[in-house]
Amino acid sequence: MRPKGTGPKDAWDWNLASQVIAHCRASGAVDVPIRCLSTALLFDSKKLEELTPLIDTLLQGDLQLSSRDEEDVHNEIGLIKFPPTLLVAGNVSVLFNDGLASFEVRKPYLGVAPEAIRSVKFMGGLHRCC
């Protein structure tokens, strides 16, 4: 039997898949961008996505079960493909976790990771939050 179409040459990928699961469970982190973790752990920004079918099989613990949606597999271990982004435009002052920055975003907008900021203050004039 060839689990998920793999063979002996894929043993290292199965090992990597189990390491990814172990790392995610040990860290307990949520909403970790897949490609960031893939680069940090596997030194390849897209390798973790290639391992998704193997990760799914290991999480389900049964070779006979059908594959789940990639997003469901990733969510189970705290990973996301597209992290949430706060979009701002206009004259703003942003208090980041590591300091203050004031700037004007002329067009179209600036995307900031919500977990990296403490507050956003619009400095007058027309503004809108997307």
What would the pLDDT profile of 29-61 be if each residue is shown by its tens digit?
A: 988 999 999 999 999 999 999 999 999 999 999
* Domain region containing 106: 86-122
User: Is residue 26 within 8 Å of 73, Cβ to Cβ?
Assistant: no
Average of per-residue pLDDT across 53-73? 94
Q: Residue 130 domain-assigned? A: no
Please tell me the distance from the alpha carbon of residue 57 to that of residue 98, in angstroms, as a whole number: 40
Please tell me the distance from the alpha carbon of residue 84 to that of residue 97, in angstroms, as a whole number: 17
Q: Which residue has the tokens 């990597």?
A: 16
Average of per-residue pLDDT across 79-84? 88
The H-assigned helical ranges of 1-130 are 11-27, 34-42, 47-50, 52-60, 70-76
Q: Residue 98 domain-assigned? A: yes
One domain, residues 75 and 27: yes
One domain, residues 51 and 76: yes
Counting the structural domains of the chain, the total is: 2
One domain, residues 23 and 61: yes
Q: Residue 116 domain-assigned? A: yes
One domain, residues 100 and 51: no
Q: Is the pTM of this model over 0.85?
A: no
Asked whether the predicted pLDDT for residue 127 surpasses 50, the reply is no
Asked whether the predicted pLDDT for residue 6 surpasses 80, the reply is yes
